[in-house]
Amino acid sequence: MELTQSSSVLHLGSQSDKHDHSYPVLKLKNISVHFNNTVALRDVSFELQVGERVAVIGPNGAGKSTLFNVISGVLVPSQGQVDIYGHVPGEHICIAYVSQRSQVDWQFPANVADVVMMGRIGRMGLFRWPKRADWQVVEEALDLVGMNHLRQRQIGELSGGQQQRVFIARALAQEAELMLMDEPLSGLDVKSQEDIFAILDKLRQRRVTVLVATHDLNLAAERFDRLMLLNQTLLGFGQADQVFTPKLLSQAYSGSMRLIETPNGTMFLSDGHCCGGEEHTHA
Amino acid sequence: MPDLLAWLTDPLGYTFMLRGLAAALIVGVVCAVLGTYIVLRGMAFFGDAIAHAILPGVAIGYLVGGTNPLPLLAGGLVAGILSALGIGAITRSGIKEDTAIGVIFASMFALGIALISTVRSYTVDLTHFLFGNVLGVSNSDLWLSGGFGALVIITIAAFYKEFMVISFDPILAKTLRLPINFLNNLLLLLIAVTIVLSLQTVGVALMAAMLVTPAAAASLLTRRLPMMMVLSAIIGAISAIAGLYLSFYVNIASGPAIVLVCTSFFLLAFLFSPRQGLLMKRWKLNPYRLGQTQS
Ligand SMILES: Nc1ncnc2c1ncn2[C@@H]1O[C@H](COP(=O)(O)OP(=O)(O)OP(=O)(O)O)[C@@H](O)[C@H]1O
Ligand SMILES: [Mg+2]
């Protein structure tokens, strides 16, 4: 890793020159996933362009987490192909994944900085220890998510929102070009959500492509470049007005969604399947 | 003062004591360092089971080559690895892991005892395998333990970060494309090798204590992994040496003496650790003290 030239040590997406830009950043072809006798995903195909911010929406059990598991290489799809810059995921380390329920050992003897440093171990070799440059990247990632003041804190002694931000910092420290975030907004108060969007804005400046799963349809419509509506199959993928049509939404949420047409044509939506215990009624 | 010095140096006049101390030190340190991962991954029962399950292999090695260390080592290693694979295979068929461990562990142990019982000097040999015979360590034993111990420590140093990540967050391990199966199998291999090289010092019945207790004590004293390994190694080393002196002067069996010293370290940490110690918690919660700090 060359860490010179720019004032920032954190070169997010800096190795894009190693990739072939005639390809999209991510390309899924006819992905299907079966678990024993349930179908989680059926024939999903799409492409993402470099630097896009895409919201993935759909009811509980729609296959959002499954989709992220497939893209990150955690899960092998039953059918279909995932291309990342034209490579298969197994040969690639430029993806970071902030999973929905981090199944980590919260009692593990590691503090916040140690956990963020784990994002960099793919870049070190055997017998190698973190160098000054690595610690600098970790510090910058923690600064970016506003967690540097807690870097000595034991990982189990953080609030849920703080834990979430540590895992985002770890994804930043990975210097990934594609970042998958599974419901990073749920369970957070409005201020913490805005903090996350501030981080997403910085990622956009660095041309990092971001996929975010969320149940907040308003935020999805307002704050993302494109929306991906999922319920086993890919129902719609495009701008909010293309995706939030009564037809597609009732296909996705089949009855559990209330659509209210008002005189000025605005539509009020409610994702009845919400997560994190909050009722989302934007009426 | 001179008395204390003599007390310390007297045992060193015996070659068997010197060799025993060296062997115990190697075992104490290697078990304690590897034990850090065993404790973090919740593999204590697994470690105990593999320790017992090497017995049939050791028995066959013994029937073939007597006290020659190489067949003992090879037999124990093969039995340990086969048991680990067996546990993995049974678990994959849908049976809970601790059940699989229970089945394999008891049956292999029974097979080992059955094999040893065919020898005439049955009880003496069995006692040595079960509880160790550190004062009977030969020069070649010592070289073998030293060599294999160094191999285990070097492997842990090489894969320290990788073992840490697969223990803490398997999903990150997958997205970083770490060779997870390889690393898990390597860890199992290290456990088997460590158990076999510790056979003569503590024996199979007490092995779990060496693998788990120093790391458990260390986990009460620090919240960082590298420090936990260092403290664990120090506790393992001191326990090994202090235990052997205890056995020399109080005239108790050496394996249990080492384990008991180790356990006292754990108890001390349990009671007095600044963060998690039982007494410190009591003291912090003491209403009188709270009243004082508030006023
Ligand atoms: N490991 C698994 N084994 C069996 N079925 C699974 C497994 N993981 C997911 N599924 C099933 O696959 C489907 C999709 O699940 P997934 O977790 O991807 O949904 P999701 O869109 O992330 O839902 P949520 O909004 O609740 O997070 C569900 O029907 C679920 O029951
Ligand atoms: Mg999900």
Average pLDDT score, chain B: 89
* DSSP H stretches of helix in chain B: 2-9, 15-40, 44-53, 55-65, 69-92, 97-116, 122-131, 139-158, 160-168, 170-175, 180-202, 207-221, 225-250, 254-272, 278-285, 287-294
Q: What predicted TM-score, i.e. pTM, was given to this entire model?
A: 0.85
Tell me the residue range of the domain where B211 lies. 2-294
- Highest mean pLDDT of the ranges A84-88, A269-273, B99-103: B99-103
At position B161, the amino acid (one-letter code) is K
- Note the pLDDT of residue A122: 80
Which of B39, B168, B221 to probe by mutation at the A interface, max A CB count within 10 Å? B168
- A4 membership: H or E segment, kind and range: none
**Average pLDDT value for residue range A106-126:** 90
Q: Is the pLDDT of residue B295 over 50?
A: no
Residue A211 dihedral angles phi and psi, to the nearest 5°: -115, 125
What integer pLDDT is reported at residue A89 of this predicted model?
57
pLDDT digits (tens, 9 = 90+) for A129-144: 888 999 999 999 999 8
Whether A3 shows a pLDDT value over 90: the answer reads no
Q: Residues of A175-204 as b/e, b for ≥16 C-beta within 10 angstroms?
A: bbbbbbbbbbbbbbeeebbebbbebbeebe
**pLDDT averaged over every residue in chain A:** 81
Q: How far is CA A281 from CA A216, A246, A248, A252, B136, in A?
A: 10, 17, 19, 18, 77
pLDDT at residue A264 above 70? no
Looking at this protein, which amino acid is placed at residue B145? S
Residues A144-154 pLDDT 10s: 888 999 999 99
CA–CA separation, A145 and A147 (whole Å) = 6
Question: Which residue has a Cα nearest atom 18 of ligand 1?
Answer: A63
Q: For B111-128, what is each residue's pLDDT tens digit?
A: 999 998 888 777 777 888
Closest CA to B226 of A114, A135, A154, A127: A114
Strand partners, A231: A233
Q: What is the pLDDT of residues A221-235, one digit of tens each?
A: 999 999 999 999 999
- CB-based contact A111 B162, cutoff 8 Å: no
Query: Over the stretch A163-220, which tens digit does the pLDDT of each residue have?
Result: 888 999 999 999 888 999 998 888 788 888 888 899 899 888 888 899 999 999 989 9
Q: What is the CATH number of the domain that holds B66?
A: 1.10.3470.10
| Residue indicated by tokens 């659509």 | A259
Residues whose beta carbon lies within 6 Å of some atom of ligand 1 = A 35, 38, 40, 58, 60-66, 100, 275
**End-to-end Cα distance, chain B:** 48
Q: Which of B281, B236, B289, B245 is nearest to B263 (CA)?
A: B236
User: Is a pLDDT exceeding 50 seen at residue A274?
Assistant: no
Of B176, B177, B223, the CB nearest to A109: B223
Distance A76 CA to ligand 2 centre (A): 17
Tell me the domains of chain A and their CATH numbers.
12-270 (3.40.50.300)
**Residue B294 pLDDT > 60:** no
pLDDT value at residue A1? 37
Structural domain count, chain B: 1
DSSP per position, B76-93: HHHHHHHHHHHHHHHHHT
CB-closest option in A90, A91, A118 to B172: A118
Q: What is the mean pLDDT of residues A81-85?
A: 84
Alpha-helix residue ranges (DSSP H) falling in A145-189: 160-173
Q: Residue A56's beta-bridge partner residues?
A: A213, A228
Token digits of residue B113: 């005892």
Please give the residue that has the higher pLDDT: either A18 or B96: B96
pLDDT exceeds cutoff 50 at A276:
no
**Ligand number, closest to the Cα atom of A36:** 1
The beta-carbon contacts of A244-251 under 8 Å, at least 24 apart in sequence, are A244/A217, A244/A269
Which percentage of chain A shows pLDDT scores above 70?
78
At A187, the amino acid letter reads: G
User: Which of these ranges, A20-34, A105-119, B35-49, has the smallest mean pLDDT?
Assistant: A20-34
Q: What is the pLDDT of residue A214?
A: 93
Between chains, do B168 and A110 touch, taking CB under 8 Å as contact?
A: yes
DSSP A48: E
Quick check: ipTM above 0.95? no
